[in-house]
Structure 1
Amino acid sequence: MAGVMDSVNQRTQLVGENRLELLMFNLNGRQTFAINVFKIQEVLKLSGLTKMPHEHPAVCGVTNLRGKTVPIINLSMAIKMPPITPTSDSTIIVTEYNRSVQGFLIGGVDRIVNMNWGDISAPPKGAGRNHYLTAITRYEGTLVEIIDVEKVLAEIVPYNTDISDDILDQNILSQGEGRRVLIVDDSPVAMGQASSTVKKLGLDVVCATNGLEAFNILKGWAEQGIEEIDKLLMIITDAEMPEMDGYMLTTAIRQDDRLKHLFIVLHTSLSGNFNKAMVKKVGCDGFLSKFQPDELAEVVQSRLKSVIR
């Protein structure tokens, strides 16, 4: 099992090339699910489980991993499927999202596959399980459903978009009228989090669900003239998205003479140290780990301050 993750550190060259690797797995049936390898710390057997009082129903307990207490989430139950019964032979995927570590109880690991973001699309609109997907793809004829882990976690630990009073600088914010922020994210939950915080700063928000959509919006503004581009205070983009990821979006912007000066912040739940290296590689202006409303507000206010001097 450990061999599945042995070469993860060798895969960083895929990022920035509009590629990713997915860990494919199953839950309580034959359907194949996946999450991005870069969000995974390890895959292992569940060594022990301690039930805790007053936990969310989808949290089946906690386990000890090298001295740290890690909650174990019954992923099948969390996405409204029949729950998996944990046993000593159960498999867990240990992940890090939004500065927290958690394990997801799954049925079993299939394989790791190398994919192009261009081959991954948004899920069809509708009810049911699609509500918990950020994307779908096909691999060797098999439908693969990519889970919106941020939504799963937001339902278990509700998020807060409030900004601390001591963070807000009203003198700066009063001069932000008419300026807009482009937020790019394929997760509706993550989009809602960031949009809510930015709107509280009195700025207009434009949303795009992937890098390609965002780049087309930017090119449309550029064609309308410099005044439209000048209204844009900054771009806040997720890293992993269908069709065009945040790294490739940044590269495309930097290669367009009309757009290359734009201020871009990478806003992602992926590993902080890894993304700091990628920020430098592709030319982002900053990095923010999801989801910290005070830190997001500080970055936006700092950018606003720099353009009104």
Structure 2
Amino acid sequence: MDTNKGILLESGTNELEIVEFTIGNNKFGINVIKVKEIINPVAITQIPHAHPTVEGIIELRGEVLPVVDVATALGFPKSTNPVQDKFIVAEFNKQKVVFHVHTVTQIHRISWDQIEKPSEMYQGADSQVIGVVKLHGDMVLLLDFEKIVVEINPESGINVQQIKKLGERERSTKRLLVAEDSPLLRKLLSDTLSEAGFQQVEFFENGRDALNYLESLLDSGRNVTEAVQLVITDIEMPQMDGHHLTKRIKEHAQLSKLPVIIFSSLITEDLRHKGQMVGANGQVSKPEIAELVLLIDELIL
């Protein structure tokens, strides 16, 4: 399958492309931006006492990469037809990981507003599903690959120890708005920003809710910059992604002066230009929370 980055969309359109793959009879999706390439399985070297979802390591063009069995990570049966299996080589959070899936089918171009947030009724606290897309009579589940990796290696996630190294600084009067769809990351961000001294943080599950809140402040006659001094947004979110949120803020006559930081696992040198095109004041790759705090300090003195 061709995953040439030439198919990627312009910034701020609120669209994305997903690679559809299967585990058993279930269909799942991964943002094509995360996908470096898709290959046939190669020989895996097993690692003693590895995490149960890690099959081992492979060498790919001089790099040693871990292989994660997605079926095991989801609690599903292993592949019954290994001949069809595929390895999805992905990159995010400044690391590369190989995801072992059962088949790879096609690429879909969709809008973020087609993606429904999973219901708490069936999602559960430990679910790795971050969105549901209805396509041609089927349901495609979008997975939280960052959570899968953090569960394997907690040190790869947001770490409060990074904040403690910064030392104390008065930040209690600074008012932040954060758009982040992952419950796990909202909790981690809440804990680490609180540790850094930020006591006034409003959290929203997606860009649309965040923008509606900002517009409601204007409608009520409040001074937006008194209620919110800076916006932090993820990129991948149902309903409205972070690039589109940033674009809408920067094109809004009364909101455009609000500083916006994109804090995402998708911040790479290849993709940084997308945030620049929509006017982001800064971009920080997860999980660099200390870098995020220092940038906040820079933008709101």
Fold match (TM-score > 0.5)? yes
* Higher mean C-alpha displacement, 76-85 vs 253-262: 76-85
User: Does structure 2 retain, via aligned residues, the 8 Å contact 1:221–1:229?
Assistant: no
Q: 2:175 corresponds to which residue?
A: 180
Three-state SS of the structure 1 residue aligned to 2:105 is: strand
User: Does structure 2 retain, via aligned residues, the 8 Å contact 1:79–1:132?
Assistant: yes
| Residue in structure 2 matching 1:116, options 111, 116, 120 | 111
| Residue in structure 1 matching 2:138, options 126, 135, 142 | 142
Q: 1:223 to 1:128 in 2, by over 3 A?
A: closer
| Residue in structure 1 matching 2:265, options 261, 265, 269 | 269
Count the aligned residue pairs: 296
For residues 224 and 260 of structure 2, what CA distance do their matches in structure 1 show?
A: 17
User: Does structure 2 retain, via aligned residues, the 8 Å contact 1:193–1:291?
Assistant: no
| Residue in structure 2 matching 1:240, options 236, 241, 251 | 236
* Higher mean C-alpha displacement, 58-67 vs 183-192: 183-192
Q: 1:94 corresponds to which residue?
A: 89
Q: 2:161 corresponds to which residue?
A: 162
Q: Deviations over 1:3-33 (max 9, x none)?
A: 331xx32123343211100100101x21110
Q: 2:188 corresponds to which residue?
A: 193
Show the 5 A alignment for 1:33-112: 33-84=28-79, 90-112=85-107
Q: 1:21 corresponds to which residue?
A: 17
Three-state SS of the structure 2 residue aligned to 1:274 is: coil
The residue type equivalent to 2:130 in the other structure is: T
* Higher mean C-alpha displacement, 88-97 vs 148-157: 88-97
Three-state SS of the structure 2 residue aligned to 1:162 is: helix
For residues 230 and 98 of structure 2, what CA distance do their matches in structure 1 show?
A: 35
Q: Deviations over 1:158-186 (max 9, x none)?
A: 13232254423x3xx32x22322111111
Q: CA RMSD in A?
A: 2.0
Matched, 1:256 2:255: no
Q: 1:196 to 1:86 in 2, by over 3 A?
A: farther
For residues 225 and 273 of structure 2, what CA distance do their matches in structure 1 show?
A: 28
Q: Deviations over 1:209-248 (max 9, x none)?
A: 1110000111122233444532423111011211111111
Following superposition, the deviation at residue 86 of structure 1 comes to 9.4
The residue type equivalent to 1:142 in the other structure is: D
User: Does structure 2 retain, via aligned residues, the 8 Å contact 1:46–1:89?
Assistant: no
TM-score under structure 1 length normalisation: 0.89
Show the 5 A alignment for 1:278-293: 278-293=274-289
The answer for unaligned runs of 5 or more in structure 2 is: none
Q: 1:294 to 1:188 in 2, by over 3 A?
A: same
| Residue in structure 2 matching 1:298, options 290, 294, 300 | 294
Q: 2:212 corresponds to which residue?
A: 216
* Higher mean C-alpha displacement, 239-248 vs 177-186: 177-186
* Higher mean C-alpha displacement, 288-297 vs 261-270: 288-297
User: Does structure 1 retain, via aligned residues, the 8 Å contact 2:178–2:232?
Assistant: yes
User: Does structure 1 retain, via aligned residues, the 8 Å contact 2:123–2:129?
Assistant: no
User: Does structure 2 retain, via aligned residues, the 8 Å contact 1:61–1:71?
Assistant: yes
Following superposition, the deviation at residue 89 of structure 1 comes to 6.1
User: Does structure 2 retain, via aligned residues, the 8 Å contact 1:77–1:84?
Assistant: no
Q: Deviations over 1:43-69 (max 9, x none)?
A: 001211000012111001000000111
Identity of aligned residues (%): 28
